[in-house]
Amino acid sequence: MGLYTSVMEEISFYTGLSPAAFFTILAMMVVVYRTVSGMFVSPEDYNKPPVVSARANSRLDESEPPREPVQLGEITDRELRAYDGSDPSKPLLMAIKGQIYDVSNGRNFYGPGGPYAMFAGKECSRALALLSFKPDDINGNLEGLGEEELTILEDWEFKFIEKYPKVGQLIAEQRTRQNEFKEQTQDNLDNPNECKEEEK
Ligand code: HEM
């Protein structure tokens, strides 16, 4: 009891404050310190990836090493749809002006539950140019866009070129059908007997 009283007296003597005021100010200083220091990143955490919300990150396995982007070459709009994040084993892709980007590193934006998930697996030029989320605008049709909108689209394109690896180009469905047809015709020419047998 004697120690308690003498500590309180010392506090009043050295600070000129009542013990209650002293402890209130001390508590406020701790709160302010914790709040302010929480606003800064400690040097050890500086190189760590940003923490994304559990919802947006639900499909990300921390132990999974980052995947190397796979070059896909030419694929169609329809084939691109398979890369919308619904299959976690596939990369997340998105196309701008016919160029396909691997946006897997932006999974918190484009992955399932992300704010821009509607763009994954799609050609998004029109939507980005118009700053629109309308499903009808999520395509590569640039018809009727003004100069300002095309500049906006170009800014997006630069952002994507800087941030994400390019992994392929979009081609029209028709062209692949033609290619398939050509391949089939060539195959039939190379193996005329097989072709006749099939006809029988
Ligand atoms: C209320 C309006 C909007 C707000 C407050 C907003 C906010 C943001 C923020 C904070 C980011 C993260 C930026 C970064 O860390 O690099 C972002 C990214 C993005 N925003 Fe928006 N946004 C808005 C509207 C739009 C619209 C209209 C579009 C297009 C239709 C759009 C498309 C995107 C895309 C594609 C990204 C991801 C870019 C990347 O992959 O780095 N946003 N937005």
Ligand 1: distance of its center to the CA of 8 in Å? 56
The answer to whether the CB of 137 falls within 8 A of the CB of 42 is no
Ligand 1: distance of its center to the CA of 120 in Å? 14
CA distance 111 to 77: 19
pLDDT digits (tens, 9 = 90+) for 76-131: 999 999 999 999 999 999 999 999 999 999 999 999 999 999 999 999 999 999 99
Query: What's the pLDDT at 111?
Result: 96
Long-range contacts of 54-57 (CB under 8 A, 24+ apart): 55/113, 56/107, 56/108, 56/111, 56/113, 56/114, 57/107, 57/108
Q: Going by C-beta distance under 8 Å and a sequence separation of 6 or more, which residues neighbour residue 75?
A: 100, 168, 169, 170, 171
pLDDT digits (tens, 9 = 90+) for 27-51: 889 888 887 776 665 555 544 444 4
Q: Which position has the higher pLDDT, 145 or 174?
A: 145
Residue located nearest, by CA, to atom 14 of ligand 1: 109
Ligand 1: distance of its center to the CA of 134 in Å? 15
Ligand 1: distance of its center to the CA of 116 in Å? 8
pLDDT digits (tens, 9 = 90+) for 60-80: 445 466 778 889 999 999 999
Q: Give residues (CB < 6 A) around ligand 1.
A: 106, 109, 116, 127-128, 131-133, 163
